Amino acid sequence: MSSIAKFSASSVAIAAGLGLSVGAAVTFLLGRKLNAMNKPKVWGKPPHPNWEPPQQLAIPDHIEESKMVALDPKVIGGKKCYPLIISAVVPRPVAFVSTVSKDGKQNLAPFSYFTAMHDPPCVILCICRAGHRGGGKKDTMENIDDTKEFTVNVLSEWFLEQANHTCGNYDPEVDEMALSGLTKLPSLKVKPPRVKESAVHMECKLKHKYETKGYDGEDTATVVVGEIVMFHVNEGVARKTPSGSTYVGLDELQPISRLGGNTYGRSRECFDLARPDRDWQKR
């Protein structure tokens, strides 16, 4: 039986049960079905929906039956910690960062040592030195140092291959936005353009930076804190909280995260888990 036929049959059965007219039942059930279709597709159940504190949860055999290994980073060596860090600190969001050099050359690259805060709204990036430039700065860092401005564009599935293509070791004069077929949008408060294909853009000004040195004393990276001076949110992903604040719909955004190696991830099955109230026992 087709799903429409099943749906009509169940409508008639329920209508009879409730003593409603078939028309009223169809309208009611159609409304419910449409409502369900509008709900995010990504929502699933938490891993242990019936868990109650302080119940112990089962640890999988491959963990329970193996022992912990202590790894001293000074023994491993700073550079060799790279595969461990990028595979263990996952998933990471990806900042797609647009900058302009002091003589006007445009640059775009992805960065997943990336996080954020909200008052004042800031982004935090870690831009490593470039191995292929003998430890010199990447173009993004050179440009932020020179102009104190950048934009962060949120990565979504629909333009991922284009975004990934921008991360090659290109020379400073290469415009990665043009190279990857992405489209520039002018910003309102900073010179670097935004990426039209992205649904959420943040115009940023350099607020703080912190230079790091490796175990050998060489410069290894810069931690950049950028204050967000303007947000741009595509209406196609924008939603409102009950009190009217704008937020971004996960289903519409289709965000892509960075995992270990060259692996990316989708946020396809998510679930809500309420924060415990201090009075959780009185629930």
Ligand X SMILES: Cc1cc2nc3c(=O)[nH]c(=O)nc-3n(C[C@H](O)[C@H](O)[C@H](O)COP(=O)(O)O)c2cc1C
Q: Is residue 222 close enough to count as binding ligand X by CB under 6 A?
A: no
- Please report how close the Cβ of residue 275 comes to ligand X at its closest, in angstroms: 29
Nearest to 266 by CA among 183, 157, 171, 161: 157
Q: Is residue 224 close enough to count as binding ligand X by CB under 6 A?
A: no
Work out the number of other CB atoms within 10 angstroms of the CB of residue 218.
Answer: 12
Amino acid at residue number 66: S
Number of residues that bind ligand X (CB under 6 A): 17
- Please report how close the Cβ of residue 186 comes to ligand X at its closest, in angstroms: 20
Contact 258, 91 (CB under 8 A): yes
Q: Is residue 182 close enough to count as binding ligand X by CB under 6 A?
A: no
Q: Is residue 169 close enough to count as binding ligand X by CB under 6 A?
A: yes
Of residues 118-157, which lie at the interface with ligand X (CB under 6 A)? 126-128, 138-140
Q: Report residue 174 as tokens.
A: 């290469």
- Please report how close the Cβ of residue 199 comes to ligand X at its closest, in angstroms: 18
In this structure, the dihedral spanned by the alpha carbons of residues 111, 116, 122 and 124, taken in order and rounded to 10 degrees, is -40
Only one residue has tokens 């975004």, namely 163
What is the Rg, in whole angstroms, of the alpha carbon atoms belonging to the chain?
25
Q: Report residue 274 as tokens.
A: 């309420």
Give the contact letters, 75-114, x = binds to ligand X (CB under 6 A), - = no.
-------------------x------------x-xxxxx-
Summarize as ranges the residues that interact with ligand X (CB under 6 A): 94, 107, 109-113, 126-128, 138-140, 164, 167, 169, 258
